[in-house]
Amino acid sequence: MNAAPPVAVSVLVPAKDEAENLPEFVRLCGEALGAAGFTFEVVVVDDGSRDRTAAVLRDLQEQYPFLRTATHRRQRGIADALRTGADAASGDILVFYPADLQYLPEDIPTLVAPILAGEADIVTGSKQGKYEKAFVSGIYNRLCRWLFGVKVEDLNSVKAYRAEIMRVVPMRPDWHRYMVVIAAVEGYRLSSRPVPLHPRRAGVSKFTWTRIPVGVLDLISVWFQLRFGRKPMLFFGVLGAVLFLIGLLAGIVALVLRFGPMQLGFRPLLNLVETMVISGISLFGFGFVAELVAGSREEMRELSRDLRRPPSA
């Protein structure tokens, strides 16, 4: 009996209340990927759905042998869904694709092709067409290109990437948006392909404007960690030194005003001295603690690399 060939591509599909879209999505996956020339599987992660998503997936698994499923008891977000899907997947190439049919499965081979050809490690789709979040997405992409220097037009779209990237990208809540920039910093090769965007056929969008402040704060956090995560003293130490120097200069001015010819007492200047000196010393302390944390993280990374390294003969 011949063993089944290894899976080359695993399509990871986070699904929250997508019971109406999933039958058509899975059918289109079978048609598009079945003729693509590579082995594949579709891993749908039910992210705490409250509609008939679970029942629909059970019926679909009986019809489509390439379909696999995983379930979250409560909604945990796309980042956790991608992590769960990656753990369940067996392909060397992973593809992030939503189930809402705004992106059609017929475009998946276009995303996968540069990776299969050895030309790229991660390929992101560049949205083609009008959509309601174009203004917000445009600002996000421009900020990311400016802060991180990543020369990719659209960073927050469907994407294909090597499975090993999941081991180096921290999948904190909502950090799936920054997978491309983190992978770029780690040295992985980037590419982009145009992908048409279609109107949602059923269900409602999970995006709300309340997520914009969260996205901005996450952007700052990612930038800080990539810029200063391995050398936090560069940030805390420099800032602490600047504040301490301001306090020192203000203290000299206060002494001159108090004991100089004018004999002035300037209470606000004394408060400034206290604030700047204490803040500077505190930031230096934060810097030392952050250096210890960064050192521990480097040790954990080295240990993780040693565990993944195959044993020598």
The set of residues, in sequence order, having a beta carbon less than 8 Å from that of 173 and lying 6+ positions away, is 76, 77, 79, 80
Dihedral sign of CA atoms 183, 184, 187, 191 in order: positive
Dihedral sign of CA atoms 31, 34, 36, 42 in order: positive
Residues 205 and 247 in one domain: no
301: containing domain: 233-308
Residues 156 and 32 in one domain: yes
Q: Is the pLDDT of residue 149 over 70?
A: yes
Residues 274 and 218 in one domain: no
Look up the CATH number of the domain holding residue 47: 3.90.550.10
CA dihedral 55, 56, 60, 62 (to 10 degrees): 20
Q: Is residue 271 part of a domain?
A: yes
Residues 181 and 237 in one domain: no
Among 188, 211, 228, the domain-final residue is 228
Say what the pLDDT of residue 173 is: 67
Question: For 83-126, how does the pLDDT look when each residue is reduced to its tens digit (9 = 90+)?
Answer: 888 888 888 999 999 888 888 999 999 999 999 988 989 998 88
- Average pLDDT of the chain is 79
Q: Mean per-residue pLDDT for 303-310?
A: 60
Domain count of the fold of the chain: 2
CA distance 294 to 228: 10
Residues 263 and 198 in one domain: no
CA distance 128 to 198: 9
Q: Is the pLDDT of residue 199 over 80?
A: no
Q: Is 263 exposed, middle or buried (0-12, 13-18, 19+ CB in 10 A)?
A: exposed
The set of residues, in sequence order, having a beta carbon less than 8 Å from that of 59 and lying 6+ positions away, is none
Among 185, 207, 228, the domain-final residue is 228
Q: Is the pLDDT of residue 82 over 70?
A: yes
Residues 135 and 215 in one domain: yes
Q: Mean per-residue pLDDT for 259-269?
A: 63
Residues 26 and 175 in one domain: yes
Residues 38 and 148 in one domain: yes
Q: Is residue 32 part of a domain?
A: yes
Choice among 49-58, 59-68, 162-171 with the minimum mean pLDDT: 162-171
Q: Is residue 264 part of a domain?
A: yes
Residues 147 and 294 in one domain: no
Question: For 33-49, how does the pLDDT look when each residue is reduced to its tens digit (9 = 90+)?
Answer: 888 888 889 999 998 88
Q: Mean per-residue pLDDT for 139-145?
A: 75
Question: For 150-176, how does the pLDDT look when each residue is reduced to its tens digit (9 = 90+)?
Answer: 777 777 788 999 988 887 777 676 777
